[in-house]
Amino acid sequence: MAQSVKGMRDLFGAELRWFQHIEETARRVFGRHGYGEIRTPILEELDVFKRSVGESSDIVNKEMYQFTDKGGRDVVMRPENTAGVVRAAIQHKLLNANDPVLFYYIGQQFRYERMQAGRYRQFWQIGAESFGVASPESEAESLLLLHSFLTELGLKSLVFSINSVGTPESRPAFHAAFRAFFAQRADRFCEDCHRRIESNPLRVLDCKNEQCQAALEGHPVITDHLDEASAKHHARLKSLLTELDIPFVENPRLVRGLDYYTRTAFEVLSSDLGAQSALLGGGRYDGLFKQLGGPEVPGFGWAIGLDRLAMVLQQVRGDAPFTPPALLIPLGERAATEALKLARTLWDTGVTLQLETRGGALKKAMASANRLGIQTVLILGDGELDSGMITVKHMATGEQESWPLGEVAERLADRG
């Protein structure tokens, strides 16, 4: 039997219903904040990710689906969408007028990762990116957007974990202090961390190894080494979040797995996903436009894992809101013709209805209705056609009644 590729799932049924509900909520909330959708290709040139996500990151180092196409180009199935959206904004000169630009996206991403709960090789992200504004207020706006999105989905007790990773100019001061700290206890760190301390010391803070995390006890904190402007920026964001009642904690080890962040970096963890798994993450990336060959433009954004969000919502709220269609069952050829006509009228007025087209026994059709979770069954036979009254069976109670044929649309609509 043919199987889907490991780590790549088919989506259907109850899980897909959560995806759809989340996507509808996202479009509504994003639209309210003035964000417009953008869709970029799944394949990007390798260079786009090397220059942005960074060569020292696990994503670029170990996890990319990368190949040479028939034209000899080195291409990658995107592991994330921020770099592609920035590439598109540069390519199409979307920022020429220097106005702020607000984008959101919903799409598949690909990372060759070890499988775990909520971790897949093809997964979905919903993201929001705000280009052209460097202020803490723009970050607060983006976080408010995220907060209303999660609140409208019914997630209430999430805590934002925030940090500032400074700027490329201010970071060497932290690197020096951190390398000195590392040198004093170098034997307690893993081999990967020995490589990281050379290529990108911040990555050591992000190491998943428990021994390394223990060895980090008392490490120098990056927010103690910020330049004045970054420190002010960080303090202002924290005061805005307090004013807005957005709960947050400061996490000096939060550096994120991608290299493009400057100043603010943040995540939201969910205990439903296990200790190490973030529900979402994001931050500021003021150098990214330049790194990808564009003008100097500040940016801030975040992305949430749709697969993980759907999983958490299923745990917290049960099945996604869903009203199954009504089922119309005709009995006999004359009724089959009339049922097609009636169904057409009902569909045209917006009624959600499934039509039984197999013919044959009522028992078989009723058994299907049961399996499909259908609540309302309409039965149309010769007797109903002659009397102008359709038989209606409410599956939950077994109750049966007759409705005038002309009132079916209205009565089904009342059902909700």
- Using CB under 6 A as the criterion, which residues of the chain lie in contact with ligand HAM when the complex forms? 80, 82, 111, 113, 118-120, 123, 125, 127, 129, 257-258, 278-283, 285, 301-305, 307-308
Which one, 119 or 233, has the nearer CB to ligand HAM?
A: 119
Segment (H or E) for 376: strand 376-380
How would you class 118 by CB atoms within 10 Å of its CB: exposed for 0-12, middle for 13-18, buried for 19 or more?
Answer: buried
Please give the Cα distance from 266 to 143 (Å, whole number).
10
Q: What are the structure tokens assigned to 210, written together? A: 């428990």
The position carrying tokens 């019914």 is: 154
Please give the Cα distance from 404 to 378 (Å, whole number).
12
How many degrees, rounded to 5, is the angle at CA 56 between CA 55 and CA 58?
100
Residue 257, classed as helix, strand or coil, is coil
Decide: 196 and 205 in contact? Cβ < 8 Å.
no
Please give the Cα distance from 131 to 301 (Å, whole number).
9
Alpha-helix runs per DSSP H in 93-227: 136-152, 171-184, 191-199, 202-205, 210-215
- DSSP 8-state code for residue 291: H
Which one, 237 or 303, has the nearer CB to ligand HAM?
A: 303
Q: How far is CA 266 from CA 26, 79, 324, in A?
A: 20, 19, 39
Long-range contacts, stretch 329-334, CB < 8 angstroms, 24+ apart: 329/356, 329/362, 329/365, 329/366, 329/369, 329/377, 329/378, 329/379, 329/380, 330/356, 330/380, 330/381, 331/362, 331/379, 331/380, 331/381, 331/382, 332/381, 332/382, 334/382, 334/385
Considering only CA atoms, which of 266, 271, 276 is closest in space to residue 246? 266
